[in-house]
Structure 1
Amino acid sequence: MSLIQVRDLTFAYDGSYDNIFEDVSFQLDTDWKLGFTGRNGRGKTTFLHLLLGKYEYSGTISAQVQFEYFPYMVEDQDQLTMNVVDEIYPDYEHWQLMREFSLLQVSEGVLYRPFASLSGGEQTKVMLAALFLKENHFLLIDEPTNHLDMHARELLSNYLQSKGGYILVSHDRAFLDNCVDHVLSINKTSIEIQKGSFSDWWENKQRQDRFELAENEKLKREMKRLAEAAERTSVWSDKVEKSKNNTRNSGSKVDKGYIGHKAAKMMKRSKSMEHRQHAAMEQKSKLLKNLEGTDSLKIAPLVYHKHQLAELDQVSIYYGDQKVCSDVSFAIEQGERIALAGRNGSGKSSLLRLIGGEELEHTGVFRRGSQLKISYVSQDTSHLQGNLTDYARSYGLDESLFKAILRKLDFARVQFDKDMAAYSGGQKKKVLIAKSLCEQAHLYIWDEPLNFIDVLSRMQIEELLLAYAPTLLFVEHDREFCRQVATKVVELPGIDGAG
């Protein structure tokens, strides 16, 4: 066991006026399986890079271990996979690598294939197997589940659960629950560490949020009462002051000392109330700092004139001589939220593109309703560049609505003027989701919409879909999201030889 100690850490990117971290102090145990969570753009990957020494910062980070980062950058992806493993860790023993491959259900044969020919899941498993061979290294694992199917996620989660310490960035709740024993969370104004699973952390956070909201309401009532009392005292003081003046002007022999004493007493009471009101305001300002706002989202689905929007009967899709999905049959009916499930390589994305209107070679019968309006969210975000205003105009979106949705998804206003190419993966995905929510459509087709998106935003999107019940066809490997949202699951059979 050794400690990673962070003291008075302050960091901002060059040219930025806002600190990502400011005077942050905490310590981590290298035996912990640490889940790392927080809204997109809060600095999770930045913190991992600070541990790696990639940026200059003020404060201190001390550790007795060396850090290794996943994903490992493979510059020449055309080389054999065995050479990639050699690059990561040249001193490994073959039997040790085979032990890790066995745990991850990776065949030895992948070592003799070009790394580029491996599926995303195979590449992830190979890199993690090689990195975990390094002794006295602490792994920083940054979102390993993106594009992995549910089976691969479960397998990887079990693998990590059997390992020693690491920091794991992931937004998949079921995945985290199975393989972490502590949670490090970047909140709005602090960094916290809690023992337990992600579900334990979330339950504690909800309890703390409820407490802060209740205290906030109590303070609001107290401040209102004090303000009203102060107003009454002010009125009384004015009346007393007028009675003093009237007595002086009329020459009456009223006890001026009594009136002066009463006025002073009222003034003292007024000052006391003012002091208590300021104290209540100061206490109130300390609350709600880490309460994460999750404003409700809206969508405006259109009602199609027929109950059935599309139908597939024994559909197979081909790319040249290669069949990517085989004999798929199902119908899409009004109000259904259909999850396409299946192993990586079973043709889920190809089916989405075909139903979305792309001309793909296929056999079988595919029928799509006439004048069907479709809103499509792609896996790919690489085309996003330029500013949000131009992007909204290019797609005919209501710019105010588009940006309002992004604000609800925790976009800071300062992001609106930046080039989208510089956005984080989660922020780019939120741009595509916000675009889709602006579009009126009969059918929404979303291909892995949650890649890189933080947990709280996932929950917002879940609530939206349950509240407005649009007709939705989607692919998503977040088990909890599918459990909450899907009204029907269509399981695609695998294709022999598919990665």
Structure 2
Amino acid sequence: MSVISVSNLTFAYDGSYDNIFENVSFQIATDWKLGFTGRNGRGKTTFLNLLLGRYEYRGVISANVNFVYFPFEVANKDSNTLDVIAGIYPDYLHWEVVRELTLLQVAEDVLYRPFELLSQGEQTKVLLAVLFVQENSFLLIDEPTNHLDLAARRVVSDYLSSKRGFILVSHDREFLDHCVDHILSINKTNIEIQKGNFSSWWKNKELQDNFELTENEKLRRDITRLSTAARRTAQWSDQTEQTKLGTKNSGVKPDKGYIGHKAARMMKRSKTIEARQQSVVEQKSKLLKNIESAERLKISPLNFHAGRLAELDHVSIFYGGKPACENVSFTIAQGDRIALCGKNGSGKSSLIKLICGEPITYTGTFRTASQLKLSYVSQDTSRLSGSLTNYAANHRIDESLFKAILRKLDFSRVQFEKDLADFSGGQKKKVLIAKSLCEKAHLYIWDEPLNFIDVVSRMQIEELLLEYSPTILFVEHDSAFCKNIATELVQL
């Protein structure tokens, strides 16, 4: 075991006035299993790239290990999988790769098939196998669970729990709980490390946040009390100073020395109270620095005139004569929150396209109510580009409401000036969700809405759906989200 030491790390992208990191220092052991968490756009992937030496920075990163980043870039996906592996790691040993694939519940025959013909789950597992056969390396694993179905996530989680020596970026709470022993959290103002899994870290964070909020309230009361006292003492000082002049027709000559001394003492006391007040203000400014803003989101679902919105009865969908799914039956009623579950390739997205009105070949009975208004969130964010203002105009949504929702989802105002193409994966997904929340609909259809989205935002969305109870059909592989939200599971 060795130590990776980060000292006074400071970094900003060229042309930016805002530091992503400023004087960050910490140490991690190379045999830890670190879960890396933080809100979208905070710099998780940037930090991994700094460890890899891809950017210039100020400060020191000291490590006696070789850093390897996942996911690997695969240039020729039409090549056989063995050739893809050789291109990534020429020194691999065949039996070691087979051993890792066995642990990942992947058959050896995938090695002799074109990589592009493997399922997304198989591709991810093959690349993880290549990652873990590399010796003397500290592994930087960046969101391996995106697009993995629930079954594949459990397999990968079990696999990672048996390994060590990595930083894992993931927003899946249960996934992190099962396979990490430390949490590396990137906060508003610092990076901190805590022993334990995600749940224990989150519990401690809530305790710390509540403590700081309580202290903040105490300080607010102190400031109010001290401000009142300072004003009162200053008034007394002024009044006492005025008595130096005496009163008209009193015939009494005031003792100006005594009165001046008394006024000076009162003024000094006023200044002392003012200094104490300023000290409290400075103390207050040190609090709340890492409390995440998670304001409540809102949605305006439309009530439908009938209880039943859509119905599928023994529906089978076909592509080129081959079935994508067969004999699917379920009903969407007002207030339902239905999770479509099943392995990748089981037809979940095909069913969503059918319900959204896309031309698809199917058999069986499919009915939707007339004048049904839908709001759709797609898996794909690759086509997003241009400004947020133009995006709102093109989709005929209220720009002010749209941006207010994004602010609640932790967008900075600086982000509003950027091109959508330059947003992180999580920020792009938040754009799609914010658009959907702006739309008044009878039925919301969300296809893997949480890919790349940070944990705090996931919790915000959960609270929204539980509070407003819109009718929603969704596909999501975050098991905690499904357990908390779904009123019904449709298993394909």
TM-score range, shorter chain: over 0.9
Residue 248 of structure 1 and its aligned partner are, at CA, apart by 9.0
Structure 1 position 470 matched with structure 2 position 436: no
**Letter in structure 1 aligned against 2:334:** Q
Equivalent runs, 1:201-280 vs 2, <5 Å: 201-246=201-246, 250-280=250-280
Task: State the shift of 1:234 in Å.
Answer: 2.0
Letter in 1 for 2:169: V
Q: Which moved more, 1:91-100 or 1:146-155?
A: 91-100
Residue in 2 that maps onto 1:112: 112
Aligned residue in 1 for 2:308: 308
Deviations along 1:218-242, whole A, 9 cap, x unmatched? 0000000011111211221222122
1:470 and 1:284 mapped to 2: Cα distance?
Answer: 40
State the secondary structure of the residue aligned to 2:354. helix
Q: What pairs up with 1:324-403 in 2 under 5 angstroms?
A: 324-403=324-403
Contact 2:245/2:254 (<8 A) preserved = no
Matches within 5 A, 1:57-72: 57-72=57-72
1:74 maps to which residue?
A: 74
Matched residue SS, 2:269: helix
Aligned partners of 1:62 and 1:118: how far apart in 2? 39
Instruction: State the distance in 2 between where 1:248 and 1:183 align.
Output: 76
Give the Å deviation of 1:246: 2.1
User: Is 1:420 equivalent to 2:415 in the alignment?
Assistant: no
| Corresponding letter in the other structure for 2:144 | P
In 2, Cα distance between the equivalents of 1:16 and 1:239?
A: 54
1:178 correspondence with 2:175: no
| 4+ residue segments displaced more than 3 Å | 247-251, 253-258
Report the equivalent of 1:497: none
Equivalent pair of 2:246/2:254 in contact (CA under 8 Å)? no
Report if aligned partners of 1:88, 1:131 keep a CA contact under 8 Å in 2: no
Shift of 1:93: 2.4
Q: Secondary structure of 2:453's match? A: coil
1: CA distance between counterparts of 2:246 and 2:378? 80
Aligned partners of 2:244 and 2:254 also within 8 Å: no
AA in 1 matched with 2:289: K
Asked whether the equivalents of residues 334 and 471 of structure 1 are also in contact (C-alpha less than 8 Å), the reply is yes
Cα offset, 1:251, TM superposition: 4.6
Structure 2 unaligned spans of 5+: none
Contact kept, 8 Å, 1:354 with 1:360, in 2: the verdict is yes
Q: What is the TM-score with the length of structure 1 in the denominator? A: 0.97
Q: Tell me the TM-score normalized by structure 2.
A: 0.98
Contact 1:377 1:446 in 2 (8 A): yes
The answer as to whether partners of 1:247 and 1:254 remain within 8 angstroms in 2 is no
Judge conservation of contact 2:81–2:114 (CA < 8 Å) in 1: yes
Q: Is the 8 A contact 2:138 2:166 kept in 1?
A: yes
**Cα deviations across residues 84-105 of structure 1 (Å, max 9, x unaligned)?**
1112222222222211111100
Deviation string 1:379-421 (CA, Å, 9 cap, x unpaired) is: 0001100110001000111000000100110011111121111
Query: Contact 1:104/1:159 (CA < 8 Å) preserved in 2?
Result: yes
- Which letter maps to 2:443? L
State the alpha-carbon separation in 1 of the partners of residues 225 and 251 from structure 2. Answer: 39
CA positional deviation for 1:26: 1.0
Note if contact 2:145-2:153 (Cα within 8 Å) is conserved in structure 1. Answer: yes
Q: Name the SS of the counterpart of 2:446 in structure 1.
A: strand
**Please, which runs of 5 or more residues in structure 1 have no aligned partner?**
493-499
Corresponding position of 2:127: 127
Report the identity percentage.
70
The match for 1:150 is 150
Q: What's 1:448 paired with? A: 448
